Structure 1
Amino acid sequence: MERRPLLHIRGSINTDEFLDDSVKVSPDCGKVLSAKYESLDYDVCENSLLLEEERRRGYPYILRMGISRWLVMCIIGAATALVACVIDISIDQLTTLKYRVLKKFTDQCILENCLVTPFLLWASFNVCFVIIAAICGSCVEPVAAGSGIPQVKCYLNGVKIPRVVRIKTLLAKAVGVTFSVAGGLAVGKEGPMVHSGAVIAAGVSQGKSTSLKQDIGIFEYFREDREKRDFVSGGAAAGVAAAFGAPVGGVLFSLEEGASFWNQSLTWRIFFGSMVSVFVLNLVLSAYHGQPGQLAYAGLLNFGKFDTLNYDWLELPIFLCMGGIGGLLGAFFNQLNYKLSKFRMRHIGHRAWMQVMEAMIVAATTATAGFIMIYTIDDCRPIGQDPNKFSIQMFCGDGEYNTLGALWFQTPEASVRSFFHDPPGSHHPVSVMSFFIVYFLLAIWTYGLGIPSGLFIPGLLTGAAWGRLVGMGLSAAFPTAAWVDPGKYALVGAGAMLGGIVRMTLSLTVILIEATGNISFGLPLMITLITAKWVGDYFNEGIYDMQIGLAGVPILAWEAPPLSRTIYAPQVMSHPVITFSPVEKVRNIVNVLKTEVHNGFPVVEHSSCDSEELGRSCGRLRGLILRSQLITLLQQRAFNEEPALLSRHIAMKNFRASYPRYPSIREVELKEEDMEHTIDLRPYMNPSPYSIQHNTSLPRIYLLFRGLGLRHLVVVSDSNQVVGVVTRKDLARFRAGHHRGQSGTEELLISERV
């Protein structure tokens, strides 16, 4: 039996691990790509039909498309803001009801010396709410679980993630995250807004819903992967803008963390959509909170107004050290969560009932941990210092409140504001340290559950906690220093912690600047975040990249792996190649589509590639035809032998009609006599597909494939004879690898498991 390397690092490392062909490799090891993920077609097929359509419609058609792009982006921003408002108002109503009841029974039980009732009520509220969230994320639509940022990042990179932008996913995400936050878990609602905005953008830009089987009949010219990708980028940015009230930060987030393709005109449209999102959300939430027209609620997460946010140059080394701490804690967070995710994949898998049970256990544990902390730690402060409307007395004296009760009896967003703005002396160091440790561990356990949830707030809250501790320590060390402000260090710690987990720098800096309304503090934040990223990257990847690797998604990095110039096209490409002739028999087309899973086929002259010999010629390249195009031609009966049917003039609208869910070949009804007919592929194929010479190196292949958003790259010989095809999975097999201090190019396998 042939043996092939499981892990081969080219360059300075060469391992000796091998794997039999009979062994099925699970992608959960992080070293294997999953074969179930397909690519998106970001390359425009410039066939005869498209050129004829543009000539016929002329410049007015181009102008109408340009105006429509701005209109669609405006609708995306407004719709994303409205969804965010619904989520925020629902959480506010549910948490108000929950904490009002808990406060009532807690105060009563203090007088009667009974605490069992409020504890059971707290745990029951959490578990009941989380059950609804877990059903949404585990049973109704599993792709709605988590924040959705890794899935959106993969989609924008060119990977087709099943069901990621369906309306059912949006409903499950919105309902699930509402009950996840209301259930008291260590999650936030801000991260899922990125996914929600992406789903809204995908639906609005197409003018139809395939889930609801409704077609409004507008924006048909945007029904292709390239146009849809640009709108999804705008939706992701609008989601960030709505979450933090940061339109510029939203644009930069989409650029830095999401989009793999960008241009200047897209930047302006996305910024416009983000501005609309912030304005609409501000308008609605201001009215809801009794301040109509004042626009006092720019985002879902309101950091509050910092009275003074100045810094001394002597503090820059402190900020640098805090960035290092954030990077270390972020790497520790990611590593523990990575181990836990692998454990879940092996022992829980896709069993929905086990995912629901785990979420219930985490919800009950969270309530128990909070109750034990409130019960055991005696940290009382005079009433008047606490901004929380549901502060409890517990065992404190008259006129006092329990500070840990104030932290737990509110949403995580409110706790972040407490660490930012509570006056000095509002918290005991033991209370803050205990809260940080418990919430940090709960956040690690919670992220990855089968519930819609976000990671931004847990990162900010845990960072704000230890940042506040740093500020308290500095206040004790320099009691007369005017520059010491615990709230300021809580902000720096929040940024360092979140940056150490997700490894964002530029976009997160701008988000924090916009959220705080203080641009002069940008330098300390940038220093902190860059340090956190450098330190974290020394140990492991960011949390989103880790999750993508665990899923085995064939995502492409910005650049080719190092030391890969000695790898050439024959070592990368897939071969032998399935090809078609310019005029092909229907039977042959049907047989190929039924037996092969490829999505693109070179069209060649004198096709005769039936040998697996490397470098074997498959005919002179004439074009490239896609599976979806072939299925559409079979459905439309574009047979040369039926001129009456062919004269109906097949146009681009026929290919856009079924987008994005094209039927399978087994759904196409053909008679036996149809099998003997032929189809002329030349008007429908791409006559000028991108191709490379067989002696092209991997970095050049990578640059061309990645920069142009390709799905297929044909490899030809010196005489333009097809010898292979490079696909996304072929390139994604090669990535940067590190082993015992050495670097090289790591070559992975593709798993047959789905």
Structure 2
Amino acid sequence: MANIAKKVSWSSRAEESGVAGERTPLFNGSEQPRLSRQDSQRGRPKEIPHNEKLLSLKYESLDYDNIENQLFLEEERRMSYMGFRCLEISRWVVCGLIGFLTGLIACFIDIAVEELAGIKYQVVKQNIEKFTEVGGLSISLILWAVLNSSIVMLGAIIVAFFEPIAAGSGIPQIKCYLNGVKIPRVVRLKTLVVKVCGVICSVVGGLAVGKEGPMIHSGAVVAAGVSQGRSTSLKRDFKIFEYFRRDTEKRDFVSAGAAAGVSAAFGAPVGGVLFALEEGASFWNQMLTWRIFFASMISTFTLNFFLSIYHKNPGDLSNPGLINFGRFESDSVAYNLYEIPLFIMMGAIGGLLGALFNLLNYWLTIFRIRYVHRPCLQVMEAMLVAAVTATVSFTMIYFSNDCQPLGPEHTEEYPLQLFCADGEYNSMATAFFNTPERSVRSLFHNQPGTYNPLTLGLFTLTYFFLACWTYGLAVSAGVFIPSLLIGAAWGRLFGILLASITSSGSIWADPGKYALIGAAAQLGGIVRMTLSLTVIMVEATGNVTYGLPIMLVLMTAKIVGDYFVEGLYDIHIKLQSVPFLHLEAPATSHWLTAREVMGSPVTCLNRIEKVGTIVDILSNTSTNHNGFPVVVQVTGSDEPAKLCGLILRSQLIVLLKHKVFVELARSRLTQRKLQLKDFRDAYPRFPPIQSIHVSQDERECMMDLTEFMNATPYTVPQETSLPRVFKLFRALGLRHLVVVDDENRVVGLVTRKDLARYHLGKHGLEELQVAQT
């Protein structure tokens, strides 16, 4: 281990496994020393470690590998051909329900935002127009700031005090869930309600946020609930879809829900499928692709249909998503070959600005973790940001003298005249005094000359910092639309400058075209998506002409941005200390073997074990101990026990709850029969061992684990290299990987955190600390 550049002084390997809970010292570390009690008593400030330098023990893994015990095999053997066909039909039905409900939720959010924002803007607009003539515009500013702060306060309270996991877009949490990490409360019904109400308050409150990102989380929650046929929050069990009550099936439906959320947000069903593949699901198959595409199509159709009714045009399916970029006609957005280098340069600019955005947000998030962690402080910060956003917006509009004629074809929803002449409106108000979605559309499609360069430059600068400050607040909010809005502003500015410095620029340098490219560059520079974002942009614009330029822009933005800092979602995953497994093991890690990364010694159980022993093991080990190898010793032999299976803590708790004990009566073993239904009924919230009562007489009974354990667990030899262990673990979605010697004896256990501890840093292969955070 001497080649590892950065090591830790202590590491607890008692994570998902049955590994004994001692803290085993590693080799000499370069970690900064912890303060002793004497140091603390001397008044020295206690050092707060950076969260990205830790892996948290509070995150468990999900069981994405099916437990092929005797109960499972017997059920599969009894199931007829028609039974399998019915299950397949049920999967399609569930995906259809996911798409339908996700579309309904998106429709509700869109209508609520439009109605409430319309009321707010009309009130503020009338107030501004009233005081423009008689003076006292400060009252209009106070009204705008108070309205925004009050609405945002409501959204922040329900998030900070009732369901903190609903904060943000939820995309990092869903990525972790699909990667195999169990994020507490991430797919609860309560989380969905808070997410929906919170995002409405955030957008109506005027924050620099969008409602599209949270739709991905909302769709995932819908999928998790519908596929299980019950709600643990409501304590209702509808007795349907019981077969799908396991992590493997639930994972596939959550992937469909995430894709349906993207489809509803952008009207991009193909983009939704690719998003689930690129950014979400860690495991994929061909049939899953068709079902996810079906859910995405149903989602966008449902939203389209009900919005057509809301707009009093039933059957006019012209609103496929929450955001409508508008049509880019082929003749107006045509580009020339010599413009491709300009597009690539814009991609590099987007990568640089995205890296700056992510870096600033990283520092800000560190500050919030340290000092703004109480709910009351989080609500106050959200209110402060809302008030500052309103003040900055008002100030920018007030001092702007960018007046444009208000023609009959104007698309501005709430034009402000302020100090402009009659028949004119303030152009800065088009960008600030509107919902972000409408502002993006105006930057894409308003006629050349609608904005002057100073307006676009100031708007880009101020909105960049406002969006950076806003992301990470204790509110439900997304970063997609703010990123598009920032990029569209500086992209349009780029087009205007091109037109001004070239004699024929006014002919080919259409500002709307460059606004689209700038929007793609900025979004790609922040979130670092390529394939799915290309298709989303193409579908949202309704024009495939810009497929190649957008792809080149996104690839350039990703390459340039990754050189400086990671993508925004990856940063927040690290800051939450989540043991996320990437596609490949760290480079230069082939010299590490399973013996060096595994946890040991391992707590094993005999195939026929005493009940009291099992209770004591479950009670005395941490709840993070979730897998126990089962061993058997040959009768009459002095050979050590050998591996014969693996059983989970959750299975043992169900067995104890149902008193599945072996009684020695008349030299005959009798045992109560359990079915998989008993385990599915307890899923996913298995009771703690402290709630299971076992009498003293029952402690003397025996428990036969043969029928319930996974008799064919995956194993690797001790000398297996880390990349091979990683590939096996990641590709199969394992939770435990048993390490055995040449005689099939258990010597260790590899779990997610044993692998996630290693990553490639600036000084070579580095090892993170595992701690209870």
Moved runs in structure 1, 4+ residues, more than 4 A?
3-6, 19-27, 642-648
Distance in 1 (CA, whole Å) between partners of 2:316 and 2:49 is: 52
1:440 to 443, 464, 474: 464
- The equivalent residue for 1:403 is 427
* Deviation per residue, 1:229-260 (Å, 9 max, x gap): 00000000000000000000000001101111
- Residue identity in the other structure for 1:18: E
Contact 1:583–1:681 under 8 Å retained in 2: yes
The answer as to 2:735 corresponding to 1:675 is: no
- The equivalent residue for 1:580 is 605
* Structure 1 residues 26 and 698: CA distance shift in structure 2, 3 A: farther
TM-score by length of 2: 0.93
Contact 1:28–1:551 under 8 Å retained in 2: no
The answer as to 2:523 corresponding to 1:510 is: no
- The equivalent residue for 2:258 is 236
The answer as to 2:467 corresponding to 1:468 is: no
- The equivalent residue for 2:41 is none
2:187 to 165, 168, 186: 165
The answer as to 2:759 corresponding to 1:735 is: yes
- Residue identity in the other structure for 1:605: V
Contact 2:211–2:477 under 8 Å retained in 1: yes
- Residue identity in the other structure for 1:517: G
The answer as to 2:388 corresponding to 1:368 is: no
The answer as to 2:354 corresponding to 1:355 is: no
Shift, 1:574, TM fit: 0.4
- Residue identity in the other structure for 1:526: M
Distance in 2 (CA, whole Å) between partners of 1:416 and 1:113 is: 32
What secondary structure is seen at the aligned counterpart in 1 of 2:631?
Answer: strand
Shift, 1:138, TM fit: 0.8
Q: Which shows bigger deviation, 554-563 or 473-482?
A: 473-482
- The equivalent residue for 1:611 is none
Shift, 1:53, TM fit: 1.0
- The equivalent residue for 1:222 is 244
* Deviation per residue, 1:318-356 (Å, 9 max, x gap): 00100000000000000000000000001112x100000
The answer as to 2:327 corresponding to 1:327 is: no
Contact 1:205–1:228 under 8 Å retained in 2: yes
* Deviation per residue, 1:348-376 (Å, 9 max, x gap): 12x10000000000000000000100111
Distance in 2 (CA, whole Å) between partners of 1:183 and 1:465 is: 22
- Residue identity in the other structure for 1:602: P
* Deviation per residue, 1:251-292 (Å, 9 max, x gap): 000110111111111001000100000100000111111221
- The equivalent residue for 1:639 is 661
* Deviation per residue, 1:636-670 (Å, 9 max, x gap): 11111188996652010011101000001011122
Shift, 1:137, TM fit: 1.7
The answer as to 2:772 corresponding to 1:752 is: yes
Distance in 2 (CA, whole Å) between partners of 1:618 and 1:407 is: 74
Q: Which shows bigger deviation, 111-120 or 258-267?
A: 111-120
* Structure 1 residues 285 and 191: CA distance shift in structure 2, 3 A: same
The answer as to 2:32 corresponding to 1:7 is: no
* Deviation per residue, 1:579-636 (Å, 9 max, x gap): 00000001000000011121000001249xxxxxxxxx97310000000100000011
1:603 to 630, 650, 654: 630
- The equivalent residue for 1:613 is none
- The equivalent residue for 1:555 is 580
The answer as to 2:565 corresponding to 1:540 is: yes
What secondary structure is seen at the aligned counterpart in 2 of 1:185?
Answer: coil
The answer as to 2:225 corresponding to 1:203 is: yes
Distance in 2 (CA, whole Å) between partners of 1:143 and 1:27 is: 22
Distance in 1 (CA, whole Å) between partners of 2:28 and 2:494 is: 45
What secondary structure is seen at the aligned counterpart in 2 of 1:566?
Answer: coil
Shift, 1:136, TM fit: 2.0
- Residue identity in the other structure for 2:555: I
Q: How does 1:621-640 map to 2 (within 5 A)?
A: 621-640=643-662
Shift, 1:407, TM fit: 1.7
- The equivalent residue for 1:152 is 174
- Residue identity in the other structure for 2:476: P
The answer as to 2:713 corresponding to 1:700 is: no
* Deviation per residue, 1:551-582 (Å, 9 max, x gap): 10000010000000100111100000000000
Distance in 1 (CA, whole Å) between partners of 2:31 and 2:211 is: 44
TM-score by length of 1: 0.95
- The equivalent residue for 1:458 is 482
* Structure 1 residues 16 and 45: CA distance shift in structure 2, 3 A: closer
- Residue identity in the other structure for 1:225: D
Shift, 1:18, TM fit: 3.4
Distance in 1 (CA, whole Å) between partners of 2:503 and 2:673 is: 83
What secondary structure is seen at the aligned counterpart in 1 of 2:80?
Answer: helix
Contact 1:6–1:19 under 8 Å retained in 2: no
Question: Unpaired segments of 5 or more residues in structure 2?
Answer: 9-26, 37-45
Distance in 1 (CA, whole Å) between partners of 2:180 and 2:79 is: 30
Contact 1:32–1:749 under 8 Å retained in 2: yes
Contact 2:611–2:698 under 8 Å retained in 1: yes
Distance in 2 (CA, whole Å) between partners of 1:352 and 1:695 is: 49
Aligned length: 733
- The equivalent residue for 2:200 is 178
Shift, 1:120, TM fit: 1.2
* Structure 1 residues 386 and 59: CA distance shift in structure 2, 3 A: same
Contact 1:5–1:17 under 8 Å retained in 2: no
Contact 1:237–1:253 under 8 Å retained in 2: yes
- The equivalent residue for 2:735 is 711
* Structure 1 residues 431 and 651: CA distance shift in structure 2, 3 A: same
Contact 2:660–2:672 under 8 Å retained in 1: no
Q: How does 1:303-322 map to 2 (within 5 A)?
A: 303-307=325-329, 308-322=332-346
Contact 2:460–2:489 under 8 Å retained in 1: yes
- Residue identity in the other structure for 1:191: G
2:71 to 42, 49, 52: 49
1:18 to 22, 28, 31: 31
What secondary structure is seen at the aligned counterpart in 1 of 2:356?
Answer: helix
What secondary structure is seen at the aligned counterpart in 2 of 1:584?
Answer: strand
* Deviation per residue, 1:475-494 (Å, 9 max, x gap): 11235343211000000000
- Residue identity in the other structure for 2:771: S
- Residue identity in the other structure for 1:601: F
Distance in 2 (CA, whole Å) between partners of 1:158 and 1:25 is: 32
* Structure 1 residues 590 and 16: CA distance shift in structure 2, 3 A: closer
Contact 1:147–1:192 under 8 Å retained in 2: yes
- Residue identity in the other structure for 2:385: V
Distance in 1 (CA, whole Å) between partners of 2:600 and 2:570 is: 30
Shift, 1:15, TM fit: 9.7
Contact 1:136–1:144 under 8 Å retained in 2: no
Contact 1:5–1:18 under 8 Å retained in 2: no
Shift, 1:22, TM fit: 8.2
Q: Which shows bigger deviation, 712-721 or 744-753?
A: 744-753
Shift, 1:738, TM fit: 2.0
> Percent identical across equivalent pairs?
56
The alignment's C-alpha RMSD in Å is 1.9
What secondary structure is seen at the aligned counterpart in 1 of 2:536?
Answer: helix
The answer as to 2:547 corresponding to 1:522 is: yes
Distance in 1 (CA, whole Å) between partners of 2:738 and 2:97 is: 39
Distance in 1 (CA, whole Å) between partners of 2:276 and 2:204 is: 28
Q: How does 1:274-293 map to 2 (within 5 A)?
A: 274-293=296-315
Contact 2:663–2:671 under 8 Å retained in 1: no
- The equivalent residue for 1:382 is 405
* Deviation per residue, 1:139-183 (Å, 9 max, x gap): 110000000000000000000000000000000000000000000
Question: Unpaired segments of 5 or more residues in structure 1?
Answer: 608-616
What secondary structure is seen at the aligned counterpart in 1 of 2:561?
Answer: helix
Distance in 2 (CA, whole Å) between partners of 1:375 and 1:22 is: 53
